[in-house]
Amino acid sequence: MPLIENGKLVEDRFTRVADQDEAGQVPPLPASTPVLLSLDRYLKEADALANAYVEVGLIWPNNKPIAEIAPYLPRLALVALHFPTFRDGRAYSQARLLRERLGWKGPLRATGNVLRDQFLIMSRAGFDQIVPSKEADAQAFDDAMHSYTVFYQPTGDGRKSLLRARLGRAATRLEDQASKDRGAAA
């Protein structure tokens, strides 16, 4: 699957290691490549991982309070948050809390059912890595990110929000506005 990081298609350095393979066996961790693990697997291997010199990414479940990730953060090279379906928006709150409250500065990846119509709000919530579900969506990344230039509310993403941008501007009277509208419609 393609990986987009900060707007560019990049090679995924991390290997997703499953909890179990098809035969029901626990697949071994590769010796030297960075690994991306579920929370279960990560907790089981905590000791081994602490002694190995591999970079570790953690997939945090979307039904577990994100505050509980805090003790592990210093040891992680990547955090992934999951969208089981694009309609399940819990990971947006997790992402903002991770960035804005827990101070996570490392890469934050959106995985699961990730579609182009959500790229921009994912970025606003703090994701800088996106794994699109569809190849065509990856190609449209740039368009999707630039479909809006106006943002009403502040998040931690640094984009300027309207709450303050419009200060000090004068309003036009309704009658003037109405004649302007008529002009625009004509």
Quote the least distance from Cβ 75 to other proteins, whole Å: 24
Question: Which one of 12, 76, 96, 112 is in contact with other proteins (CB under 8 A)?
Answer: 96
Q: Per CB under 8 A, does 136 bind other proteins?
A: yes
Answer yes or no whether residue 50 interacts with other proteins by CB under 8 A: no
Residues 140 and 170: beta-carbon distance below 8 Å: no
Q: Which long-range contacts (CB under 8 A, 24 or more apart) does 67-74 make?
A: 67/97, 67/101, 67/102, 69/98, 69/102, 70/102, 72/42, 73/102, 73/104
Residue 171 binds other proteins, judged by CB under 8 A: yes
**CB proximity list for 16: less than 8 A, separation 6 or greater:** 35, 36
Which CB atom, from 14 or from 155, has the smaller least distance to other proteins? 155
Order of all β-strands in the sheet with 35-38:
8-10, 3-5, 129-130, 108-112, 78-83, 56-60, 35-38, 15-16
| Cα 153 from chain centroid (whole Å) | 18
> Which range in 1-9, 17-25, 29-37, 153-161 contacts other proteins by CB under 8 A?
153-161
Q: Which of 87, 105, 135, 158 binds other proteins (CB under 8 A)?
A: 87
User: Which range, of 28-36, 46-54, 72-80, 145-153, touches other proteins by CB under 8 A?
Assistant: 145-153
| Contact footprint for other proteins (CB under 8 A) | 65, 86-90, 92-94, 96-97, 101, 115, 117-118, 120-122, 124-125, 136, 147-155, 161-175, 177-178, 181-182, 184-185
